[in-house]
Chain A
Amino acid sequence: DAGITQSPRHKVTETGTPVTLRCHQTENHRYMYWYRQDPGHGLRLIHYSYGVKDTDKGEVSDGYSVSRSKTEDFLLTLESATSSQTSVYFCAIKGRGQNTEAFFGQGTRLTVV
């Protein structure tokens, strides 16, 4: 599993509530990513991190924030969940240089009702 786990795996939440998804890695990889996957849209980058406390926005960052206080943990927060944020969320880790393969977590299925 390349040492990457996501939690929770499934979550149902109500519109307007905050939600935090966790990505944990044991590979000491520098780069971590949050994607969302919706039918017909492939993998869309939400936010990414290139080191502790170093994060940046991806193409669909509105309504999301992230934090990385430790190398191993990358948190994605939906500040006030909306139905349009119902999706499958994948975390990924990636090395640099020759180690450029990206490894994905198992995914989190989030439903906002």
Chain B
Amino acid sequence: GENVEQHPSTLSVQEGDSAVIKCTYSDSASNYFPWYKQELGKRPQLIIDIRSNVGEKKDQRIAVTLNKTAKHFSLHITETQPEDSAVYFCAATTDSNYQLIWGAGTKLIIKP
């Protein structure tokens, strides 16, 4: 079955700098890769996703890149702001699967 590894577990960056979180997956059949953000005391919410027919997707300050050959995908946040402080989760699945396989999460800390 699918396995998703996420690194780092904690990331501390200076406000205004960029942050990168990486995930690797094991099942080459996986074709949908979402990223969720969970603020303290709140529920996880989707912030961006990518499908395997696309190499990169951007939405304002966030972007996700996918390398199918290496089976890894990354979340990039530019010009980080205090409100980016949260736990970020990656996941992988296929359209024919009904489960999301989750990474363990990355706690992002934005230092003022």
Residues of B within 8 A of A97 (CB): 95
Residues in A neighbouring B43, C-beta threshold 8 A = 90, 104-107
B44/A48 in contact, CB under 8 A: no
Residue contact B44 to A45, C-beta cutoff 8 Å: no
In the bound complex, how far is the Cα of B89 from the Cα of A104, in angstroms? 13
Within 8 A of B (CB), among A71-113: 90, 94, 96-98, 100-102, 104-107
Roughly how many angstroms separate A107 CA and B44 CA in the complex, as a whole number?
10
A residues in contact with B103, CB < 8 Å: 42
In the complex, whether A43 has a CB less than 8 A from a CB of chain B is: yes
Q: When the two chains form their complex, are residues B105 and A31 in contact, meaning their CB atoms are under 8 A apart?
A: no
A100 neighbours in B (Cβ, 8 Å) = 32, 34, 93, 95
Is residue B99 contacting chain A, with contact meaning CB distance below 8 A?
Answer: yes
Let me know if B89 and A102 touch, CB within 8 A.
no
Given A100-B32, A100-B93, A101-B49: A43 touches B44 (CB 8 Å cut-off): yes
Tell yes or no: B104 within 8 A of A by CB: yes
B residues near A (Cβ < 8 Å) are 32, 34, 36, 43-46, 49, 89, 91, 93, 95, 98-100, 102-105
User: Which 3 pairs across A and B sit closest by C-beta, in order of nearness?
Assistant: A104-B43, A42-B104, A42-B105
Binding site for B on A (CB under 8 A): 30-31, 33, 41-43, 45, 48, 50, 90, 94, 96-98, 100-102, 104-107
